[in-house]
Amino acid sequence: MVNKHYVAGYDAFVAFMKDFNDNGSPVNVLFTGAKMENGESWCSDCVEAAPFIENAVASSAPKESHFIYVDVGDRPTWKDMNNPFRKDKNTHLSVIPTLIRWKNPQRLEGEQLTKTELLELFFSEED
């Protein structure tokens, strides 16, 4: 079973990753907009991609892998060009949603996350 983790905000993300022990398993990180009171993200692209991502995690992600959901904040926080997620050399985000393989080059962004075949390929690639 894929190990799922949830983190909100940059400082919490940095602290989580600093202490995180992946036991040698693949670590996939999804950056998405914060959820509103209705349970959906303010980011319409994130909402559109969510079912594709969930299906791919369930069907294609290695069973011993980790999947970390990271809330990058509300819309004004994300739109700030000085947002630390944009500046961090490990994340270097320019759009959300973005899915990365931690400390590896694999990356899907925006509408790529609505393409089942790209998601399957992402999860099947070895580090």
List 46, 56, 72, 108, catalytic entry: 46
Reading the block at residue 78, the tokens are: 């994300």
List 27, 43, 93, 113, catalytic entry: 43
Question: Does the active-site annotation cover 109?
Answer: no
Question: Which value, to the nearest 10 degrees, does the dihedral of the CA atoms of residues 42, 53, 57, 60 take?
Answer: -170
Neighbouring residues of 100: CB distance < 8 A, sequence distance ≥ 6: 28, 29, 31, 91, 106, 107
Question: Does the active-site annotation cover 43?
Answer: yes
Query: What one-character-per-residue DSSP string does 36-75 give?
Result: -TTSSBS-HHHHHHHHHHHHHHHHHS-TT-EEEEEE--SH
Distance of CA 85 to the CA centre of its chain: 12
Q: Which residues are catalytic?
A: 43, 46
